Amino acid sequence: MREIYTFGVKTGQINAMVNITSEINKAINESGVKNGICVVFVPHTTAGITVNENAEPDALRDFLKDMDSIVPDNDDIKRAGGNSAVHTKTSLTGCSLTLIIDDGRLLLGTWQGIYFMEFDGPRIRKVHVKIIEG
């Protein structure tokens, strides 16, 4: 069993939600763990991770629109890079998730999926997954 599973996520827009549920399931299957914990970590300050609606495509668009409403781009920023709003959005979504593995499967709700959150794309990013048996 590998210690850490790492995969790439390519985004094509400044803001994007990429469903990575299948990649997480692949890591769980490869691990052979039937019961335990799955930790998903995004090692970037301008990208995050969340669990969200997985059945209605408009929900993703609405989520990104809501994030822009909550944290609008601001021309009156102090940060030299000019992307303070991006870092705030990342802090709101967070950089990690802890999920339950039960009988070899993620214990997600019927309509839930795991989403990589891009706030400063397009880019190629990394996601790390740690599977802990127990």
* Average of per-residue pLDDT across 85-95: 93
pLDDT for residue 42 is more than 60: yes
Q: How would you list the strands of the sheet with 5-10, edge to edge?
A: 5-10, 124-133, 36-41, 96-102, 105-106
* CATH architecture observed for domain 5-133: Sandwich (2.60)
Specify the pTM: 0.92
> What's the pLDDT band for 84 if we cut at 50, 70, 90?
confident
Strands 96-102, 112-118: parallel, antiparallel or unpaired by DSSP?
unpaired
**What's the pLDDT at 85?**
86
* Average of per-residue pLDDT across 44-71: 93
The residues spanned by each domain of the chain are 5-133
